[in-house]
């Protein structure tokens, strides 16, 4: 076991953290520090630090000095890496939340299918992003600097080549301002970005639920992780042309949620509504979910996971910024929950639980882009608006014949757009990261400049994602087939697509429409 020697003058907390992190990160060949940034400190020290080694006959004892404590730079690398990975694990955990929300809000006869889609989509996204997604998103010039272009050009396949992600170079610090994640190993960066990719693909699942072919959805998810998500990702987070114009999206209102929302909307339009959703006269029939307990649990999981989603996007241990982001995130979610409940109560006559849950998620989506740049009071306003908007959007999509079983487009698309624009509306001068081009918002002492840049990003994302997704859906429809048969949809996708049931032995009530 390696021994950590605490020298006089070291603060007790530093020593304790260093001890825990060394035990966690050291391997048998010695500690491995930052891949870049701080100088690597790999050592061939023996597995056990001892005062002497066993000498050969006639030789004097050999004194071996124990390893010294890590430097401040090395300790920061370890803390940053631990933070990035821990928050990435929280974002990964959100897959459970999406699975629970979607399955709970849909019918029991499709529960297995929905759970299976949500499970496999992360595996598919992981493979897609590893094969080529990361390279298209973060591959830049050979010197590692951002190119202001459309796609990455170096290290395209299998996260190969040097670590040339733009956030590792001084030339590009993205949304993180003076906070540098240069010392975080490439694998940590890759995994953090990977879990966001999976989230974008999962959004699509809810919108096309209860009528899409299982294998076709898998193929689309792979395309999402290779040709759709990473391209816009290069523009926004990879030093591409939107970043060069001064577009900001701290944790993904556009980069994750709007991308998923535009792709989902295209899928809904090609698929068409579920059988029984509309009468021949066009009247909307409600199709209630089978397990609102499960949906509620899923929403709590997502709310919890969002504290990895947003605070984790600091990509470094900055106590002040992490704390601020956590509070703005929670505040927006809380107020959106209340306003969505009240709005549904006024418009529908009852405080609909589904609207309450979607209100919470809408507030979280809306605050995701501006969470680091707006005040707590601005997060109150953002949350209040998001809660109202999501209820109105759900009802509007329904009346327009766009059948979204879980309200994914209302939550992720509509509020993803709204949250992105909020940077241009509410950014505080005091919260602008040093060394960036971000400008104050329209309502906080600034002008229209930042709002126009944010609007440009919204339009550009729509003009790329929606047509590409639409063409992809149409090609899949013509080749693999997109929608299950009428008989299979009526019976349920659990039996038709998977040959089993979520609740065997229970007799389900026949639909009333």
**Does residue 263 fall inside a structural domain?**
yes
Work out the average pLDDT over 70-81: 86
Tell me the pLDDT band of 172, cut-offs 50, 70 and 90: very low
Higher pLDDT, 138 or 357: 357
Closest C-alpha among 439, 476, 412 to residue 94: 412
Cβ neighbours, 10 Å, residue 69: 17
Closest C-alpha among 84, 237, 250 to residue 167: 237
- CA-based radius of gyration for the chain: 25
**Does residue 464 fall inside a structural domain?**
yes
Exposed e or buried b per residue across 98-120, where buried means at least 16 C-beta atoms within 10 angstroms of its C-beta: bbbbbbbbbbbbbbbbbbbbbee
Are residue 47 and residue 121 in the same domain, yes or no? no
pLDDT at 208 over 90: yes
For residue 58, the model assigns a pLDDT of: 59
Are residue 51 and residue 89 in the same domain, yes or no? no
- Summarised one tens digit per residue, pLDDT across range 295-320 is 999 999 999 999 999 999 988 888 99
The backbone region for 276, taken as left when phi is positive above 0, alpha when psi lies in -120 to 50, beta otherwise, is: left
Residue 327: CATH number of its domain: 1.10.3430.10
Are residue 62 and residue 165 in the same domain, yes or no? no
Work out the average pLDDT over 182-194: 83
For residue 183, the model assigns a pLDDT of: 67
**Does residue 502 fall inside a structural domain?**
no
Work out the average pLDDT over 464-487: 97
Are residue 23 and residue 133 in the same domain, yes or no? no
d(CA 261, CA 410): 8
Tell me the pLDDT band of 57, cut-offs 50, 70 and 90: low
- Summarised one tens digit per residue, pLDDT across range 389-402 is 999 999 999 999 99
Are residue 181 and residue 245 in the same domain, yes or no? yes
**Does residue 507 fall inside a structural domain?**
no
**Does residue 506 fall inside a structural domain?**
no
For residue 147, the model assigns a pLDDT of: 59
Are residue 323 and residue 459 in the same domain, yes or no? yes
Residue finishing a domain among 54, 70, 86:
70
What pTM did the predictor assign? 0.83
- Output the six-digit token pair for 108: 């029991």
For residue 418, the model assigns a pLDDT of: 98
**Does residue 513 fall inside a structural domain?**
no
Contact 425, 443 (CB under 8 A): yes
Work out the average pLDDT over 402-406: 95
Say how far residue 235 (Cα) sits from the centre of its chain.
16
For residue 55, the model assigns a pLDDT of: 54
- Helix, strand and coil percent figures for the chain, each rounded to 5: 60, 0, 35
Q: What are phi and psi of 106, to 5 degrees?
A: -110, 180
- Summarised one tens digit per residue, pLDDT across range 116-165 is 999 999 999 999 999 999 888 887 654 445 557 888 777 778 887 555 44
- Output the six-digit token pair for 101: 């929300």
Are residue 271 and residue 362 in the same domain, yes or no? yes
- Side-chain half-sphere of 155: how many Cα atoms within 13 Å? 22
**Does residue 45 fall inside a structural domain?**
yes
Are residue 270 and residue 238 in the same domain, yes or no? yes
Are residue 24 and residue 148 in the same domain, yes or no? no
Q: Domain residues for 54?
A: 1-70
Say how far residue 120 (Cα) sits from the centre of its chain.
17
Work out the average pLDDT over 99-105: 97
pLDDT at 348 over 80: yes
Are residue 42 and residue 135 in the same domain, yes or no? no
- Angstrom distances, CA of residue 68 to CA of 32, 75, 78, 151: 14, 12, 16, 44
Are residue 456 and residue 332 in the same domain, yes or no? yes
Work out the average pLDDT over 166-194: 57
The backbone region for 171, taken as left when phi is positive above 0, alpha when psi lies in -120 to 50, beta otherwise, is: alpha
Which of 176-190, 345-359, 434-448 shows the lowest mean pLDDT across its residues?
176-190
pLDDT at 416 over 90: yes
**Does residue 504 fall inside a structural domain?**
no
The segment with the largest mean pLDDT, out of 52-56, 167-171, 239-243, 399-403, is 399-403
Contact 225, 125 (CB under 8 A): yes
pLDDT at 29 over 60: no
- Angstrom distances, CA of residue 11 to CA of 16, 18, 251, 443: 9, 11, 34, 44
For residue 224, the model assigns a pLDDT of: 96
Residue finishing a domain among 50, 70, 90:
70
pLDDT at 189 over 90: no
d(CA 234, CA 313): 16
Are residue 64 and residue 122 in the same domain, yes or no? no
- Angstrom distances, CA of residue 440 to CA of 15, 246, 451: 41, 12, 9
Q: What's the number of domains the chain is made of? A: 2
- Side-chain half-sphere of 107: how many Cα atoms within 13 Å? 20
- Angstrom distances, CA of residue 366 to CA of 156, 198, 217, 322, 433: 32, 19, 27, 18, 20
Cα–Cα–Cα angle for 447, 390, 388, nearest 5°? 70
Secondary structure (DSSP) of 197-251 = HHHHHHHHHHHTTTTB-HHHHHHHHHHIIIIIHHHHHHHHTSS-HHHHHT---SS
**Residue 262, C-beta contacts closer than 8 angstroms, at least 6 positions apart:** 413, 461, 462, 465, 466, 469
Beta bridge partners of 483: 212
**CB-based burial label for 196 (10 Å; 0-12, 13-18, 19+):** buried
Contact 345, 372 (CB under 8 A): no
For residue 175, the model assigns a pLDDT of: 34
For residue 76, the model assigns a pLDDT of: 85
């Amino acid at each position: 076991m390696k021994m950590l020697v605490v020298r006089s003058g070291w603060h007790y907390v530093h020593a304790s953290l260093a001890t825990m992190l060394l035990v966690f990160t050291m391997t048998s060949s010695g500690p491995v520090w930052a891949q870049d940034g701080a100088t690597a400190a790999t050592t061939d020290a023996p597995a056990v630090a001892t005062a002497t080694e066993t000498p050969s006959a006639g030789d004097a004892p050999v004194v071996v000095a124990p390893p010294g404590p890590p430097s401040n730079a090395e300790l920061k690398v370890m803390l940053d890496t631990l933070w990035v990975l821990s928050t990435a694990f929280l974002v990964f955990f959100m897959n459970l939340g999406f699975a629970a929300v979607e399955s709970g809000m849909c019918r029991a006869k499709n529960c297995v299918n929905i759970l299976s889609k949500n499970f496999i989509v992360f595996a598919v996204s992981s493979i897609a992003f590893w094969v080529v997604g990361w390279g298209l998103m973060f591959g830049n010039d050979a010197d590692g600097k951002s190119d202001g272009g459309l796609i990455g050009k170096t290290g395209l396949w299998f996260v190969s080549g040097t670590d040339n992600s733009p956030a590792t170079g001084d030339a590009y610090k993205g949304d993180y301002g003076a906070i540098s994640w240069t010392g975080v190993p490439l694998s940590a960066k890759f995994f953090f970005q990977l879990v966001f990719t999976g989230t974008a693909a999962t959004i699509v699942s809810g919108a096309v639920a209860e009528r899409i072919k299982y294998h076709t959805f898998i193929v689309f998810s792979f395309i999402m992780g290779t040709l759709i998500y990473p391209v816009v990702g290069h523009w926004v987070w990879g030093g591409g042309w939107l970043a060069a114009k001064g577009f900001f999206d701290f944790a993904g209102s556009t980069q994750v949620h709007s991308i998923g929302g535009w792709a989902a909307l295209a899928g809904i339009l090609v698929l068409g509504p579920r059988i029984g959703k509309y009468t021949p006269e066009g009247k909307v029939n409600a199709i209630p979910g089978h397990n609102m307990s499960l949906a509620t649990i899923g929403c709590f999981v997502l709310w919890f996971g969002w504290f990895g989603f947003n605070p984790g996007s600091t990509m470094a241990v900055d106590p002040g910024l992490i704390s601020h982001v956590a509070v703005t995130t929670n505040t927006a979610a809380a107020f959106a929950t209340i306003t969505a409940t009240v709005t549904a109560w006024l418009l529908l006559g009852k405080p609909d639980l589904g609207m309450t849950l979607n209100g919470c998620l809408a507030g979280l989506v809306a605050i995701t882009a501006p969470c680091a740049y707006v005040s707590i009071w601005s997060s109150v306003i953002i949350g209040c608006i998001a809660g109202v908007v999501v209820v109105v959007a759900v009802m509007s999509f329904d009346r327009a014949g766009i059948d979204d079983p879980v309200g994914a487009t209302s939550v992720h698309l509509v509020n993803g757009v709204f949250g992105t624009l909020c940077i241009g509306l509410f950014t505080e001068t005091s919260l602008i990261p040093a060394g960036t081009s971000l400008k104050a918002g329209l309502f906080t002492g600034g002008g229209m400049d930042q709002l126009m840049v944010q609007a440009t990003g919204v339009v550009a994302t729509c003009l790329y994602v929606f047509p590409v997704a639409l063409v992809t859906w149409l090609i899949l429809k013509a080749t693999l087939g997109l929608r299950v048969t009428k008989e299979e949809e009526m019976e349920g996708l659990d039996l038709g697509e998977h040959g089993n049931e979520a609740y065997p032995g229970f007799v389900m009530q026949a639909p009333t429409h």
